[in-house]
């Protein structure tokens, strides 16, 4: 059964998992940030199975000059607070603000995870679940030895489970942690 002393970690992509993607362009202001229904309830149910929860997100809109860094930080403060009010503690939000091909942290590169493990040395990527809606998330998960879960219509890689939403992945996630 669930043993909270085990240091399992939950990695979540942001856009498309926690909040709606914009159909075009980047979420550049807190007014555009809309939580997906059921995300709070789902996280309330799965977080007891994890010691730590992190959000790992590419935010190239910053590098392109579309999203101001202060607006991104405001969105993340809101996110922390909304979850905190519901008793869900997010241990960190790691973001890559860089343009594609210019850094070592944009997913599927693992620079954000390297930094995270440096700050949280008890995080063991092999004891983690990584949830995202892009093949970049799946590739990063596989690279670091995490268990990938794809949110979307069709899994981008054989053997990687796919669900239409975080909510519909809930039982699978709990099962991963308890068996
Ligand atoms: Zn980067």
Is the preceding peptide bond at 108 cis, omega within 30 degrees of 0?
yes
In a domain, 138, yes or no: yes
**Exposure on the CB side of residue 77, measured as CA atoms within 13 A:** 8
In a domain, 2, yes or no: no
Residue 61 sits in which domain range?
Answer: 9-178
Active site residue 122: no
Q: CB–CB of 67/110 below 8 Å?
A: no
Confidence of residue 3 (pLDDT cuts 50, 70, 90): low
Confidence of residue 5 (pLDDT cuts 50, 70, 90): very low
| Residue 159 pLDDT | 94
Query: What mean pLDDT comes out for the span 144-149?
Result: 98
Distance (Å, whole) CA 152 – CA 37? 16
- Is pLDDT at 7 greater than 90 in this prediction? no
Q: What is the pLDDT of residues 40-55, one digit of tens each?
A: 999 999 999 999 999 9
Phi-psi region of 86 (alpha: psi -120 to 50; beta: other; left: phi over 0): alpha
Place of tokens 């994890």: 50
| Residue 2 pLDDT | 52
Q: What is the pTM of this model?
A: 0.95
Percent of the chain clearing pLDDT 90 (strictly above): 92
Q: CB–CB of 52/123 below 8 Å?
A: yes
Percent of the chain clearing pLDDT 70 (strictly above): 97
In a domain, 4, yes or no: no
**Ligand 1 centroid from CA 75, angstroms:** 19
Active site residue 15: yes
In a domain, 1, yes or no: no
**Ligand 1 centroid from CA 3, angstroms:** 34
In a domain, 63, yes or no: yes
In a domain, 3, yes or no: no
**Ligand 1 centroid from CA 98, angstroms:** 4
**Ligand 1 centroid from CA 2, angstroms:** 35
In a domain, 127, yes or no: yes
Q: Beta-carbon neighbour count of residue 131 at 10 Å?
A: 25
CATH number at residue 112: 3.40.50.1000
Domains in the chain, number: 1
């Amino acid at each position: 059964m669930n043993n909270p002393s085990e240091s399992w970690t939950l990695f979540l992509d942001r856009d498309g998992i926690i909040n709606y993607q914009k159909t075009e362009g980047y979420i550049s202001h807190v007014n555009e940030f809309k939580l997906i229904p059921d995300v709070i309830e789902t996280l309330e149910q799965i977080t007891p199975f994890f010691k730590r929860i992190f959000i790992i997100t590419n935010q190239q809109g910053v590098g392109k000059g579309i999203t101001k860094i202060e607006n991104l930080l405001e969105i993340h403060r809101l996110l922390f607070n909304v979850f905190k009010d519901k008793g869900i503690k997010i241990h960190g939000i790691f973001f890559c603000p860089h343009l594609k091909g210019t850094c070592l942290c944009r997913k599927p590169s693992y620079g954000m995870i390297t930094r995270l493990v440096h700050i949280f040395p008890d995080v063991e990527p092999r004891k983690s679940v990584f949830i995202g809606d892009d093949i970049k998330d799946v590739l990063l998960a596989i690279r670091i030895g995490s268990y990938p879960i794809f949110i979307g219509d069709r899994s981008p890689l054989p053997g990687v489970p796919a669900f239409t939403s975080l909510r519909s992945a809930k039982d699978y996630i709990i099962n991963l942690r308890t068996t």
